Amino acid sequence: MRLFIAIEIPRGVREQVAALQQQLNHPFNKIRWVQSESIHITLKFLGETKPELIPELKQAIKGALPFVPFKMSLQQLGVFPDLHFPQVVWCGIHEGGGLLKNLVERIESIAESLGFEEEKRSFHPHLTLGRVKFLKEKNWFIQKITGTRFATEEFEVDHFNLFQSELGEAGAKYSILETYPPI
């Protein structure tokens, strides 16, 4: 089973993000945009996991609790790894980034204790908007990324989820396996 831990984004914010994706879309550029209903903030990608490990994993993740509910908002656009070779289009976390980072560190530690691979890259709080496949109008795209001002309404993070991702021809389908409230 392909698993990850993430924060769901409220519908109103997902709608704001979908409108932003439309602004960044150009008919000559090929970007695989994340579908509105699938937009989330990944805390830890676990990857392929044996089904028999899932009960232990669900219980262990509770070790990241309690966490205090916190406010978050999205702001700023960017790309990974950089503007010269954009591969991932993202929106940054404006408010709540420090608390989010703390939660990620606790989850990372728990995942490592269960044998999951350590994330080598430093955590950069963001939401993935899309993956760049080809940019025929690269200058247009760079101007849009650097020139677009974007900020969402504030929302409360009061839980996170363990998700299963099933890959299909229409893209990934996500199912919630467990929800973790801030107990």
160-168, strands of its sheet edge to edge? 40-48, 2-8, 160-168, 171-180
- Find the catalytic residue in 26, 124, 126, 159: 126
Joined tokens for residue 183: 């107990």
Cα-trace Rg, the chain: 17
Contact 164, 177 (CB under 8 A): yes
Contact 79, 143 (CB under 8 A): no
Question: Cα(58)–Cα(178) distance, rounded to whole angstroms?
Answer: 7
Joined tokens for residue 149: 């001002």
- Find the catalytic residue in 40, 84, 94, 124: 40
Q: Is 159 a catalytic residue?
A: no
Q: Is 40 a catalytic residue?
A: yes
Longest dimension (CA), the chain: 49
Return the active site residues: 40, 126
